[in-house]
Amino acid sequence: MGLRVAIIGGGPGGLFAGQLIKQKLPDSHVEIFERNREEDVFGFGVVFSDATLRYINEADPVLQDALAAYGAHWDTIDVLAKGEKHSFTGNGMSAIHRRELLSLMRERARAAGAILHFESDRTVADLADYDVIVAADGTNSKAREYVGEEALGHTLEVASAKFIWFGTTHIFDGLTFLHRQNEHGNFAVHAYPISDKISTFIVEADEQTWRNAGLDEFDVTQPPGVSDMKSKEYLEELFAEEIQSKEIVVNNSRWSNFRGRSTRTWYKDNVVFLGDAIHTAHFSVGSGTKMAMEDSIALAEALAESPDDIQAAFARYEKLAQPRVNKVQTQARPSLSWWEYFGRYHNAFDPLKFTFHFFTRSITLEKIRKRDPEFAEAAENAWQSRYGTEPLRTPLALNGTDFAGRLLSFDGFTLSADGTVLDIAAAGGKVIEAPARDTEVADLVGKIENASFIVVQGGDSLTRRLVSEEFRLVRDIPTVIVDDTDDAYAEDHARTEILSGRTDAIARK
C-alpha cells in the first residue's frame, strides 16, 4: 500500500504538494484539508520572476498556463516620487490574481487524484494515523505550534513598519512604487497588475505616520474578512492622482507588521513543513507563494526518492530546499531594512538618487548596468554633473584634510591615500564598531555625541550601511565605511555605495 499523506492547508503550496506527490507516487493516498470554504479567497495577487517560472514550469506548467490565460507580465519597474518617474528595465516578472491561480491549482490537484476537503480545520493530532502530515498552514501555523517551535529551532522577528494589502481598479503598467508625503508622514505603495481588471495595492508606513494619520483605530480582534474601511478611504484620497480616482478594493484588508520567520529544522516525526509555516521573506523581494511552490517541488521529489524511509526523505527535502530559501532570505534582509526607513531616504534624496538607492539595496551598479544601461548612466551622469568626475575620483575633505579620491586605506588609527595620511582621533573623528544586528544600530549611534566624521567597521554590510546612514543622513556627519568586499568586486561595490549616498568614502584594511 502506498503512502497516506495528509496536507493541512489548501493554498498554492499545499495544493501543489498534493498534486506533485500524487503524480510522482501514483499509489499514494493524498488528502488536502482547508479550513475555509472553497469560494473564500483572501488576498489579491501573487508575483513571480521569470527565473522562478522556469523552475516551477519544469515541475508542472500550471503557472505558465494560468499566467497565459489570466495573468499580467512586465519588464520595467517604475518609481514615482516628488512628481518624477524613474524606471529600471530588464526585470521580467508576472503576476496573477490569487483566485484564478487557486482555481486552476485545485483542478490540477483533483485531476492528479488528490482529495480536497473544505471547511475542514484539522490539527496534527486529528491526522496522526497518516504516514506523512504536510503542514502548509501559513505564517500563523497551528501545526508548528503543536509540534513545538523550540524543537524546530524556530525564530520570529517582527518588523516595525506597518503595511496593508488592498487592490485597486486602476490598472498599472507593471510593478510600480508610489511615494507620498503629507502632514502625517510618508506613505509608500507597491502596486502591480494581476489581471485586466484589478491591480494589487500594498501600502506601507512607519508606525508614527500610521498613528499620526489616525489609522490605528481598527479593531484587529474582529474575525477574518472584515476590512479597515477608514484606511481605505484615507488612502483613496491620498493616492487619488496616481490611481486616477479609481476605487481601492478591500479583501480582509487590515494593517499588520511583517513577521520574519526562520527555522533550523523543517520536520519532526511524521510532520513536515513548507512555505510560510516554516519560513518567510519580505514581500518586496519574493512571493511567499513562490517559495511554497518551490518547497513543494523539493518535497515531492524527496518523497519519491525514499517513499519507504520518511526520515531520509525529509532530510533530503531540507537539503534540496533550504539553500534556495536561505538565499532569498539573505536577499530580503536589506530590502526589508530599506522599507523600514524609506521615509528617511525619500526626504534626503532627489528622485533619481532615491530610485538608485532603492534598487541598489541588494544589487550593485554593474548589475544594474547589465539590465538597464540607460538607468545606470543616468545615475552616473547626475554625479558627474555635480562633481565633475566619477565617484571614486571625486575629492573628499575630512575636517580639513583633502583626499584626491574616495577609496582609502585604514589601519585602525589612520585613513590614507596617495601619500595623504589622516590621524582619525586627532582630527576629531571616531571609529565605530557596527553591531551584529540592525535592531541595535539606533542605540549604538545614540551614544556618540560629537565627531567630525565617522569610520564604520565590523558588523556586516547591512549594519555598516545603517550606522553610516544614521550619521550621514540624520546628523549630517561625513562617514567612511570600512569594506570587506572581495577584490574582484571591490570597486563596483565602492562606487555603488558612494553613488547611492550611503557613505562618503570606502576604506579597506
The DSSP-derived string for 101-167 is HHHHHHHHHHHHT-EEESS----TGGGTTSSEEEE---TT-HHHHHH-HHHHTEEEEEEEEEEEEEE
What is the structure's pLDDT at 61? 87
What is the structure's pLDDT at 378? 98
What is the structure's pLDDT at 65? 86
Contact indicator for 465, 481 with CB cutoff of 8 Å: yes
Three cell numbers written together for 181 = 508625503
CA dist 311 → 267, 299, 306, 308 (Å): 9, 12, 9, 9
pLDDT in tens, the chain (509 residues): 699 999 999 999 999 999 999 999 999 999 999 999 998 888 889 998 887 788 888 888 888 888 888 899 999 999 999 999 999 999 999 999 999 999 999 999 999 999 999 999 999 999 999 999 999 999 999 999 999 999 999 999 999 999 999 999 999 999 999 999 999 999 999 999 999 999 999 999 999 999 999 999 998 888 888 999 999 999 999 999 999 999 999 999 999 999 999 999 999 999 999 999 999 999 998 779 999 999 999 999 999 999 999 999 999 999 999 999 999 999 899 999 999 999 999 999 999 999 999 999 999 999 999 999 999 999 999 999 999 999 999 999 999 999 999 999 999 999 999 999 999 999 999 999 999 999 999 999 999 989 999 999 999 999 999 999 999 999 999 999 999 877 778 999 999 999 999 999 999 99
What is the structure's pLDDT at 53? 82
Contact indicator for 426, 453 with CB cutoff of 8 Å: no
E strand spans, 274-352: none
Three cell numbers written together for 291 = 517559495
Strand 479-482 to 454-458 pairing: parallel
pTM score of the predicted model: 0.94
Q: Report CA 281 to chain centroid distance, whole Å.
A: 5
Beta bridge partners of 165: 202
Strand 414-417 to 407-410 pairing: antiparallel
Contact indicator for 104, 66 with CB cutoff of 8 Å: yes
Domains in the chain with CATH codes: 4-337 (3.50.50.60), 388-508 (no CATH)
Considering just the CA atoms, what is the radius of gyration of the chain in Å? 25
Contact indicator for 492, 364 with CB cutoff of 8 Å: yes
CA dihedral 105, 107, 108, 111 (to 10 degrees): 160
CB-hemisphere CA count at 13 Å for 155?
4
Nearest partner of 192 among 109, 285, 72, judged by Cα? 72
Nearest partner of 51 among 380, 400, 287, judged by Cα? 287
From the number of C-beta atoms within 10 Å of its C-beta (0-12, 13-18, 19+), residue 417 rates as middle
Q: How many residues does the chain have?
A: 509
Q: What is the DSSP string of 25-40?
A: -TT-EEEEE-SS-TT-
What is the structure's pLDDT at 165? 96
Beta bridge partners of 186: 181
Rounded to 10 deg, the angle between the 98-112 and 12-24 helix axes is: 20
What is the structure's pLDDT at 382? 98
Beta bridge partners of 176: 78, 191
What is the structure's pLDDT at 182? 98
What is the structure's pLDDT at 207? 97
What is the structure's pLDDT at 224? 82
